[in-house]
Amino acid sequence: MGADQQYPCRRIISKPFNGLLHVKNTNHVFYLVFTVIGFSLGLITTLCLKSFSLTNNFQAFLYYSIPPSTLNPQIVNSPQSQPSPRPFPTPQEPSTSPSPSRPPIPTPPESSSSPSPSPPPPSPPPILIPPSPSPPPLSFLRNTTFNLTGVTLKEQQLLIMHNMSDHELFKKATMIPSIQDSHDDHVQKVAFMFLTKQSLPLGPLWESFFKGHEGLYSIYVHSDPSYNETLPQDSVFYGRRIPSQPVFWGTATMIDAERRLLANALLEISNQRFVLISESCIPLFNFSTIYDYLMNSNQSFLGSFDDPRKAGRGRYNPKMSPAINITNWRKGSQWFELHRELAIHVVSDQKYYPIFQQYCVPPCYSDEHYIPTLVNILYPELNSNRTITWVDWSRGGAHPRKFGWVDITNEFLNRIQFGSECVYNGNTTNMCFLFARKFLPNTLRPLLKVAPLVLGFNPN
C-alpha cells in the first residue's frame, strides 16, 4: 500500500503545498506567508484588547506622565484649588466670634460673582498592564497647589540665582511688563521680602503661616553674604536667598538691600504687593486675612509724615535743594508695603537716591526718609500714609522695645490686632496692623501655642 493510501490525511494536507512548490515565481510564496502571519497577529491583538479599556488606561497614563503645569487651566484654576480675592469686610459687619473677650479675626465672605464650583471628573481606573498602584482621582487637584503663573519653582529659583550687578538688576526689573499688559492668566501674589542678618529664628511660625497657600505668595531673603546655613528642601525658605551685599545699620546700604529685594521680586510678573519683613517680625493674622487685606486695598501702606522735630526736619540737609525741598521732606517706618507701581518707581529712581546717598548721613538715616520722601514727591495719592507693621516706641531711644516669651499673652496680641483706629479704603477700622516686631527668638514656642486661637492658623 502506498504512503498516500496508508495516510490519507497527509495526502489532503500536502496537496496545497505541492501546488505551491510548482509556482514559478517564488516571491508569491513569501507574500502569502507574510499575509497569513499578519492576519494572525491582527486577530490575536484584537482579541487581547477586548480584555481591557485602552481609553481608560491611556487616561491613567496621563495622570502619571503629564506635569501639573500642563493640566487643563479650567480644572487647575477651579475654586476648590485656589482662593480668589474677596472683598474685605468693613468694621460695621456683625461679629461672629465665639469668644466675647476678643474681637473676631475678619473672615471675608465669598464673592457672589465667583463661579460656582464644578464637580470633579470621575477617577480613572487602575492600570492593568503592567501592574502598578491605582492612579489618584481627580479630586487630588483640590488638595495640591499648582503654580498658575506659568513660572515653575525651578524657574523662580533661576530668577533668584543670577550674577547681575545692582544696576543691571534694577534695569531688568523695570522692564518686566505688568499683568494688565500680559496675555497670560496670572494669579496675583504677595511678595514677602525678608531683610535679615543671618537666620530666621521665628521661621517655624512663618512656615505654619504659609502652609497650604502655595501659589499665592513669593519669598525673598536678603541675608549677610557670610551666612551659609543650609535649609531643608521642604522649607518654604529653601532656595529663596537672593544675591546680597553687607548691610550696616544707619547707612544707605539698608536702602540698597531694600531696593535689591524689590528688584528681585519685580522679576516675577505675578507679584503685585511687596512687604518688607525683618527676622523679628510676626504675622498677626492668618494668611487668607492678610492676603485679602492687601489685595483689596486701593493704596500702599507706608508711613510718611512731616515731623517738625529735630529727629524729622532737623535731619534735612539744605544741599538737597532744589531737587528735594524741606516741604518735600518726610519721615516714616522702614517696614513698608508697596503696590507694584510704587515698587517700580523705587527701583527705577536715579534722580533722588544719589542725593540721599551723598547728603543723608547720620544723624540722617536714609531708611527712615528716602522712600517716604520719594513717594510723597511722586505719588502721594497712592499711599495711605500709615504702616501695617506695629512696633513699640513708647520707651524712646534709637530702637523700639523688644518682646520676650513672658510678654506673649492673648491680651497682648489682641491689643496689637484691634487696639488702634485707622482708615481702610475710606472706612474707619480697628484692624490697622498685619505684622508686629521686635520679637526675640525665645517667643517662638509661646507664639506657636497661641497661633490657632489668636493668630488664626494652626502650626501643626
Say if residue 142 is in the same domain as residue 158. no
CA atoms of 82 and 14, how far apart (whole Å): 75
For residue 27, give the 3-state DSSP assignment: helix
pLDDT score, position 160: 65
| Residues of the domain holding 426 | 153-455
Are residues 20 and 166 part of one domain?
Answer: no
List, in sequence order, every residue forming a beta bridge with 193; answer none if it has no partner.
220, 276
What is the band of 186 on the pLDDT scale with cuts at 50, 70, 90?
Answer: confident
> Between the CA atoms of 386, 214, 257 and 402, what dihedral angle is there, to the nearest 10 degrees?
60
Residue 399 has a pLDDT of: 86
In angstroms and rounded to an integer, the radius of gyration of the C-alpha atoms of the chain is 33
Residues 239 and 382 in one domain: yes
Pair 218, 192: CB distance under 8 Å: yes
Query: For position 77, what pLDDT does the model report?
Result: 37
Q: Please check whether residue 240 lies inside any domain of the structure.
A: yes
| Residues 372 and 230 both lie in one domain | yes
Residue 192 located in a structural domain: yes
Distance CA 367, CA 389 (A): 15
Q: Residue 115 falls within a domain, yes or no?
A: no
Residue 100 lies in a domain: no
Question: How would residue 27 be classed by pLDDT, with cut points 50, 70 and 90?
Answer: low
Query: For residue 245, is it within any domain?
Result: yes
Q: Which residues does residue 331 pair with via DSSP β-bridges, in sequence order?
A: 305
Inside any domain, residue 10: yes
Same-domain pairing of 325 and 397: yes
Looking at the structure, tell me whether residues 291 and 424 fall in a common domain.
Answer: yes
**In angstroms, rounded to a whole number, what is the distance separating the alpha carbons of residues 392 and 359?**
29
The contacts found for 136-142 with CB under 8 angstroms, 24 or more apart, are 136/63, 138/75, 141/71, 141/75, 141/76, 141/78, 141/80, 141/81, 142/78, 142/80, 142/81
130 and 199, same structural domain? Answer: no
Q: How many domains does the chain have?
A: 3
Q: Let me know whether 416 and 302 are in one domain.
A: yes
Half-sphere exposure of 99 (CA within 13 A, CB side): 10
pLDDT band (50, 70, 90) for residue 29: low
Examine the domain organization and report whether 64 and 183 are in the same domain: no
In a domain, 321, yes or no: yes
Residue 290 Cα distances to 92, 287, 388, angstroms: 19, 5, 10
Judge if 74 and 16 occupy the same domain: no
134-155 pLDDT, tens digit each: 333 323 222 333 333 334 444 4
pTM for the model stands at 0.67
**In terms of domains, do 351 and 288 share one?**
yes
Residue 116 is assigned to a structural domain of this protein: no
Q: 159 and 138 share a domain?
A: no
DSSP letter for each residue of 44-83: HHHHHHTTS-HHHHHHHHHHHHS-GGGS-HHHHTSTTTSP
Q: How far apart are alpha carbons 436 and 252 in whole angstroms?
A: 24
User: For the segment 171-180, what is each residue's pLDDT rounded down to a tens digit?
Assistant: 898 888 766 6
